[in-house]
Amino acid sequence: MKFIRCIVFDLREGFASVWPLFVVVIVFQIANAASLRFLLAGFDGNTGVSLGDYVLFAYSGIREYSPEEYMRFNFPVAWAFLLLLGFYIPLAFPFRDMKSLGRSILVATGSRWIWWLSKCCWVALCSVLVTVASYGTLVGVTLLFDGDLVLQLHEYAIWASRVDLNLLLPGPWSIGFFTVSSSLVCAALCLCQLALSLLLRPTIAYLATVASLFVSIFVSSPSLPGEYLMAARSMVLIEQGARCWDGVVYALAMAAVAMTCGFVLFSRLDIADREMAE
Amino acid sequence: MKRLISMELNKAIKNRWFAIALAIGCALACASAFVSISAFFSYGFDTLDSTRYYQLSTSGSICAWIGVGRLDSTFLPWLFFGIAPLLVTLPYTWSLRSELVSGYINQPISRASRANYIVSKYIAVFCSAGIAIAAPLVLNYLIVSCFIPSYIPDPGEGLSVPIDEYCLFSQLFFTYPPAYFTVIVLFDFVLCGAWATVVLSLSFFLDNRIGLLVIPFLFQYFLRYANQIFLPELFGEAFRNQFNLISMLWPVPSGDVPNLLLSCLLAAIGLTASLVLCTTAIRRDLP
């Protein structure tokens, strides 16, 4: 019961402060969808843009970068912005709540575990809602332009999303499983960020998340989270790409470690000392 | 006024956030220098036999510097310049917001004029941000110069030349590389200082310190996105990657060629607008 009250409070207070950022996500996805339509406008054989095409364009990322091949580096700025925004949205509230009303709630519940679990649930839910808002916008755009509401991809959209066509698997392609695994990895990264913010403060924790994403852009390794967040490196599209199941396992393991380590840190944290520290 | 400036500068330089920003920047700069030096020696340079030096002139120290990054093909230069907009605001940009929230601001403004207080804060923020970007750049150049000979790049070496005629200060690069290095460092110092003061002026509008640092950083990426996708379509290719700090700070990679006049103009607008905004906002009733 205490947990339910705690989570209800977090949902009410937390979303009250972050909802304008969801509007930014929606506006950005509309702009992104418009740019894909713009890019494909003069393309021969364009038979319509499906929901999957929009999703791929937003979350494609970049193929594995290899400077030895004199490959021109194109920073995947749309992908980076969406993720950077998605990691910022759940960043501030848990830390801020430690200093204000949340502190009274912590005393009232009498259990640090309940308080921590509630914050973890809020962060994971917030991250999932960012993804839902993002995909929801794309669903709206697809319906608006009479596109197919399926996650199947067209070859011209794959080309526009700069996927390595030399490694492309034979069609048909569907991005469905990737959307699930990437959402889970995003939520797990947000939980890691939450745990890290107890140790390093939120801004540095955010910087660490940004750094891990940037490194993922350049280095293709299954140990880096960005590998599971880029459709251009996923096995749904290319040979020997990152497996979605690996992404799910990676996300669950990362979330479990973050929640456990975070709780250990939080249980020893002197909250009174945190006043105005950030 | 002098006392106020020296006090603010003292606070800006001697705080742990400045040390953290500097440490992150210097760590990346040192790592990049190590990669460049390793790449250089992997080509077979023998320090004991100077007659065996048969490398291209573009493998000299200026090209190995992180600001050019020809010998470092890893993520390090990109990471350094990619997080720079956040890194330079970390040292002291948050101070005004914190002082407004804690009420500390009432102490200095009851002893000195509000305008003097804000100008001294502005100078301290400008300098701390400038140092946070310039110190790692200088450190990297010093390290690579200790190991790699300083040759003047020969523009005749074709594709191996990392800078073309359209890049900022390219004439200096091919005639007097140390001057090129100095000018780029100063240019980055001013741009980052201007950016940090713009963020400082947002202290009156954003009530959350984390948001104060992160939202402007996200805005830079949004600008970069708009620069890549919309501006070239609307105004032509000449406008690709012109209006964002990341491209301006690092005028070398992947065809980003910012315009000098435009960069200076944006820096001047940023400096003026933030000063006007700060001096106007501070006249209001403070909490």
Give the mean model confidence (pLDDT) for residues B226-255.
72
Burial state string for B136-163 with b = 16 or more CB within 10 A and e = fewer than 16: bbbbbbebbbebbbebebeeeeeeebbb
Q: Positive or negative, the Cα torsion across B110, B111, B115, B121?
A: negative
Which chain B residues touch A78 with a CB distance below 8 Å? 225, 229
Residue A71 has pLDDT above 70, yes or no: no
State whether B221 and A73 contact (CB < 8 Å): no
Q: Give the whole-angstrom CA distance, residue B160 versus residue B154.
A: 10
pLDDT in tens, B165-197: 777 788 888 888 899 999 999 989 998 998 999
Q: Side chain identity at A191, as an amino acid letter?
A: L
Q: Tell me, yes or no, if B221 comes closer than 8 A to chain A by beta carbon.
A: yes
Asked if B169 contacts B184 with a C-beta cutoff of 8 angstroms, the reply is yes
In this structure, the number of other CB atoms found within 10 A of the CB of residue A33 comes to 24
Please give the pLDDT value at position A270: 75
Task: Assign A97 a pLDDT band (cuts: 50, 70, 90).
Answer: confident
Nearest to B221 among A80, A95, A204 (CB): A80
Please give the pLDDT value at position A260: 92
**Would residue B110 be called left, alpha or beta, if left means φ above 0 and alpha means ψ between -120 and 50 degrees?**
alpha
Looking from the CA of A217 toward its CB, the CA atoms found within 13 Å total 26
pLDDT in tens, B63-103: 888 888 788 778 888 889 989 999 999 999 988 888 888 88
Please give the pLDDT value at position B159: 66
Give the residue from B269, B222, B265, B250 showing the smallest Cα distance to B84: B250
Please give the pLDDT value at position B158: 64
pLDDT in tens, B115-148: 888 888 889 999 999 999 999 999 999 999 998 8
Which chain B residues touch A31 with a CB distance below 8 Å? 229-230
Residue B199 has pLDDT above 60, yes or no: yes
Per the omega criterion (within 30 degrees of 0), is the bond before A172 cis? yes
Interface of B with A in 227-286 (CB under 8 A): 228-230, 233, 253-255
Nearest to A218 among B78, B98, B228 (CB): B78
Please give the pLDDT value at position A276: 42
Higher confidence at residue A169 or residue A246? Answer: A246
Mutate to test the interface with B, among A17, A23, A36, A81 (most CBs of B within 10 A): A81
Please give the pLDDT value at position A277: 44
Please give the pLDDT value at position B253: 53
Higher confidence at residue A131 or residue B286? Answer: A131
Please give the pLDDT value at position B182: 93
Tokens of B174: 């091919």
Give the residue from B97, B90, B121, B94 showing the smallest Cα distance to B20: B90
State whether B214 and A206 contact (CB < 8 Å): yes
- Number of residue pairs across A and B with CB atoms under 8 Å? 79
- The complex's ipTM works out to 0.87
Minimum mean pLDDT among A11-15, A240-244, B51-55, B227-231: which range?
A: B51-55
Q: Taking all residues of chain A, what is their mean pLDDT, rounded to a whole number?
A: 85
Tokens of A200: 């390093």
Nearest to A207 among B83, B101, B225 (CB): B83
Task: Provide the whole-model pTM.
Answer: 0.87
Q: Give the whole-angstrom CA distance, residue A14 versus residue A118.
A: 11
Chain A residues in contact with chain B using a Cβ-Cβ cutoff of 8 Å: 28, 31, 35, 38, 67, 72-75, 77-78, 80-81, 84-85, 88, 91-92, 95-96, 202-204, 206-207, 210-211, 214-215, 217-219, 276, 278
Please give the pLDDT value at position A278: 47
Minimum mean pLDDT among A110-114, A205-209, B283-287: which range?
A: B283-287
Nearest to B225 among A78, A96, A203 (CB): A78
Give the mean model confidence (pLDDT) for residues A157-173.
80
Residue A187 has pLDDT above 90, yes or no: yes
pLDDT in tens, B15-71: 899 999 999 999 999 999 999 888 888 776 666 665 655 566 777 888 888 888 788
Asked if A25 contacts A137 with a C-beta cutoff of 8 angstroms, the reply is yes
Give the mean model confidence (pLDDT) for residues A181-189.
93
Nearest to B75 among A85, A91, A215 (CB): A215
Minimum mean pLDDT among A59-68, A129-138, A220-229: which range?
A: A59-68
Q: Taking all residues of chain B, what is their mean pLDDT, rounded to a whole number?
A: 83
pLDDT in tens, A82-93: 999 999 999 888
pLDDT in tens, A262-278: 999 888 877 766 544 44
Task: Assign A234 a pLDDT band (cuts: 50, 70, 90).
Answer: confident
State whether A77 and B221 contact (CB < 8 Å): yes
Nearest to A81 among B24, B75, B225 (CB): B225
Minimum mean pLDDT among A169-183, A242-256, B44-58, B139-153: which range?
A: B44-58
Residue B219 has pLDDT above 70, yes or no: yes
